[in-house]
Amino acid sequence: MQMLKDDVVLVTGGGSGLGLGVARYCKAEGAEVVIFEISADKVRQLKEEFGPDALIIQGDVTKLADQLACRDAILARYGRLNALIGTQGIFDGNVPLQQIPLERMDALFDELFHVNVKGYMLSARVFFDLLEASQGAMVLTTSTAAYAADGGGLVYTATKGAVRSLVNQLAFEFAPHVRVNGVAPAGIANSQLKGPGALGLDAQKQSDIPKDAFLSMFRSLSLLQELPSAEDHGPLYAFLASRHNKIMTGQTVVADQGMLNRAVLKGGH
């Protein structure tokens, strides 16, 4: 049986990377997938891949008007929403605080917190009534950076810690009608997570790191040695978003390939 058969699932930030992998998996599990994406180029590519009948919406998760327009489009097409999966995010390039120019601090903070945190808050507010009506679910994306240092720079780490706390508070406020959980990935193959415009890094992506160097670093830290793809995370998101999850809310699943299992690292396994 397909896990999401006949469910309407909205994936925010679903145009590439993790979001696209999750959207593909949810579609394969029988969902009517709605994708909300800011990039016009990615929207065109999504329409080619998912077909003319798919509901692909261009918009900015940080803009209330765009999220309301997305809600209207979902109601017009389907009249309901069963799950919301949030995957959008911006990285900070691992730039240490002391190397961030003082005059860029405000812009960097605003850019990352607006996309990585405010976007999820707006989605929760805008779509709550639809999720409540369907006894549905929200799944938000945090990071292993919320649990241990050096998963990003200071600002990225702060945003991911905030998302982890959002999951706890939203699950409390939305209970018992809407289940709210999080996923904290670590390394993802061909990650499309881009850097911030505030530091002039918006043209760079994590996938620009040489593959061999990234894989070597990953394997030195992780217990499981196969670097997962975006689609590999799909089953976890799909289960948490589905009606089959009757036991979890307010939880963040750390999907780290065992990376955080050891408090002290040593050479080899």
The tens digit of pLDDT for each residue in 134-156 reads 999 999 999 999 998 888 899 99
pLDDT value at position 206?
59
Residues 6+ apart with CB under 8 A from 150: 94
Assigned domain for 268 exists: no
Peptide bond into 176 cis (omega under 30): yes
pLDDT value at position 240?
98
Assigned domain for 218 exists: yes
> Per the structure, how many domains does the chain have?
1
Residues 6+ apart with CB under 8 A from 65: none
pLDDT value at position 251?
98
Distance CA 152, CA 6 (A): 38
CB 251 within 8 A of CB 242: no
Average pLDDT, the chain: 90
pLDDT value at position 196?
83
Assigned domain for 168 exists: yes
Which residues have a catalytic role annotated? 156
Assigned domain for 1 exists: no
DSSP secondary structure of 131-163: HHHHT-EEEEE--GGGTSTTSS-HHHHHHHHHH
Residues 6+ apart with CB under 8 A from 48: none
Distance CA 100, CA 201 (A): 12
pLDDT value at position 64?
98
CATH code for position 76: 3.40.50.720
pLDDT value at position 132?
98
CB 82 within 8 A of CB 7: yes
Regions of the chain with pLDDT less than 50: 269
Assigned domain for 2 exists: no
Residues 6+ apart with CB under 8 A from 244: 3
pLDDT value at position 99?
93
Q: In terms of Cα–Cα distance, which of 6, 86, 11 is closest to 56?
A: 11
Pairing of strands 179-185, 32-37: unpaired
Assigned domain for 264 exists: no
Residues 6+ apart with CB under 8 A from 38: 13, 15, 58, 59, 60, 61, 88
Q: Structure pTM?
A: 0.91
Residues 6+ apart with CB under 8 A from 36: 10, 11, 12, 13, 14, 57, 59, 61, 67, 70
Distance CA 38, CA 122 (A): 15
Assigned domain for 170 exists: yes
The pair phi, psi for residue 185, each rounded to 5°, is -75, 165
Residue the block writes with tokens 């969902």: 31
Assigned domain for 262 exists: no
Q: In terms of Cα–Cα distance, which of 135, 157, 137, 39 is closest to 85?
A: 137
Q: Which domain holds residue 195?
A: 8-256
